[in-house]
Structure 1
Amino acid sequence: MTDVAELVRRNTDFAAEQFATGPGLTINPTGNMMIVGCVDPRVDPSHILGLHRGEAAVIRNVGGRITPATLRTMKMLGKVGQAHQDGKADGPWNLVILHHTECGMLDLAPFEDLLAEYFEVAPHALTAKHVSDPHGSVRVDTDIIRQEVHAPDFLVSGLVYDVATGTVEIVVPPTAVPVA
C-alpha cells in the first residue's frame, strides 16, 4: 500500500528535480490542450500520451465522459484561461476525449438509475450514450462538444486507448467545432 508518508517523500524528490530552475509554467497549458479521460488508474492520459508537465489540462471522471458537469467544469476553466491571456500559446485549442477498452463503465450498465443521474438524462435515453462501447461513446461525446462548444480555433478529437496493447486509436480525427 502507498501511504501519505511515501507520497510526501516522492514529492520531495519531485520538487527538487522539477523546481531546481524555477517552475516556469503558466496556468494555461503550453500545448493549448485539454484532455477528458477516465479515472481508471490504467489510463493516465499524461503517461499514455507522453505529455510533459504543464502541456495539457486533464479532466478525469468516470468513463471520461462529457456530462453536463464536465461541460460546466470546462466553462469554468475557460474563464480562468481568459483571465490569463498573457500566458496563452498561439494556435488552436485542442480538446481530446480519451475513452478506453475494458472500462468500469461496463460494470455500471445494469445500474440505469445511477447512470441516468450521472448523465443527467432519463433512463430511456441511456442507449444513445453507448455506455458499453468505447468507440461509440467517444463519437457521442465529440458530437456533444460540437453541439455545446462554439469557439473559434477549437478542435475536438476522440481517441480510444486499448488497455491490453497500450495503443491509442483515432476514432474522431481533429475536427473544428462550429462557431455560433
Structure 2
Amino acid sequence: MGVVETLAARNQRFVESEFDAGLRMKPKLATIVICCADTRVDPAVVLGAAQGEIMAIRNIGGRVTPRTLDELFMLRAIAQAVDDDIDSTWELVVMQHTQCGITRIESRPELLAPYFEVPEDELGRVLVNDPYGAVARDMSVLRADSRLEGAGVSGLVYDVATGRVQAVAGR
C-alpha cells in the first residue's frame, strides 16, 4: 500500500470515529500557534490540543516573518468576515524548539535574508541560533504590528530532547 492509500484509509477511520461536523472556524481556545514545520514539533500533539482547539501556522523555524504577519492579518480579515474577530480574547503563541534545522543553514545568508526580508548584514538580529531569544524577538514583532492590536502574545520553546515546553518572557 502506498502513502496516499495509507492516508486515505486513515481518513476513513477518522470519518467513522472522530469527525465533528459542528466545529467552528474559530478555535475553541482562540489561539493561533506559530511553530516550526519540523515533524517533531506538531503543536496539537506537543500541547495536547484536541481537534478544533487551536490553529497553527507552520513554517521553517517557527518564525514570525513578514509573510507570517500577512497570514495573520488575512486570518483576522476572515475572522471578521464570520464575526469572530481576532481581538483581546485571542492568544498568538510563538513556539520554537531546540535542535531546529534552521540553525544548520545559519551560514547561508542568501537563503535567510530573503526569508526574513532583512539585509544580509542584519541577520544577526533575527537570532537563528537562539530559540529563546528568537521567540522573544518574534513576540516583539507581533506586538509591534498594529494590524494585530488587541491579541495576546506569548512564547514557548519546546525541548525536543525532553518533550517539555518552557514559557519565554517577552521583551
- For Structure 1 versus Structure 2, the TM-score category normalised by the shorter chain is over 0.9
C-alpha distance in 1 between matches for 2:4 and 2:49? 25
Task: Report the secondary structure of 1:29's partner residue.
Answer: coil
Report the CA distance between 1:32 and its aligned residue.
Answer: 0.7
CA gap 1:147/1:2 in 2 versus in 1, 3 angstroms = farther
Would you say the 8 A contact 2:88–2:152 is kept in 1?
no
Would you say the 8 A contact 1:98–1:161 is kept in 2?
yes
Would you say the 8 A contact 1:35–1:58 is kept in 2?
yes
Aligned partner (choices 15, 29, 32) of residue 27 of structure 2? 29
Would you say the 8 A contact 2:32–2:92 is kept in 1?
yes
Would you say the 8 A contact 2:80–2:86 is kept in 1?
no
C-alpha distance in 2 between matches for 1:89 and 1:76? 11
Bigger share in helix: 2
Q: Which amino acid aligns with 1:42?
A: R
Report the CA distance between 1:132 and its aligned residue.
Answer: 0.5
Task: Report the secondary structure of 2:40's partner residue.
Answer: coil
Counterpart for residue 13 of structure 1: 13
Q: Which 5+ residue runs of structure 2 have no aligned equivalent?
A: none
Task: Report the secondary structure of 1:42's partner residue.
Answer: helix
Counterpart for residue 160 of structure 1: 157
CA gap 1:125/1:4 in 2 versus in 1, 3 angstroms = same
- 1:20-169 aligned at under 5 Å gives the runs 22-85=20-83, 92-149=89-146, 150-152=148-150, 154-169=151-166
Q: Which amino acid aligns with 1:47?
A: V
Would you say the 8 A contact 1:33–1:55 is kept in 2?
yes
Would you say the 8 A contact 1:32–1:88 is kept in 2?
no
Would you say the 8 A contact 1:32–1:91 is kept in 2?
no
The Cα offsets for residues 70-114 of structure 1, whole Å up to 9 and x where unpaired, read as 0001010111111111x6799611000000000001111010111
Q: TM-score, normalised by structure 1?
A: 0.89
Q: Which amino acid aligns with 2:111?
A: L
Would you say the 8 A contact 1:26–1:54 is kept in 2?
yes
Report the CA distance between 1:18 and its aligned residue.
Answer: 1.7
The Cα offsets for residues 96-140 of structure 1, whole Å up to 9 and x where unpaired, read as 000000000111101011100000110011100000010110011
Report the CA distance between 1:172 and its aligned residue.
Answer: 2.3
Would you say the 8 A contact 2:91–2:153 is kept in 1?
yes
C-alpha distance in 1 between matches for 2:61 and 2:75? 20
CA gap 1:69/1:44 in 2 versus in 1, 3 angstroms = same
Q: TM-score, normalised by structure 2?
A: 0.93
Would you say the 8 A contact 2:44–2:50 is kept in 1?
yes
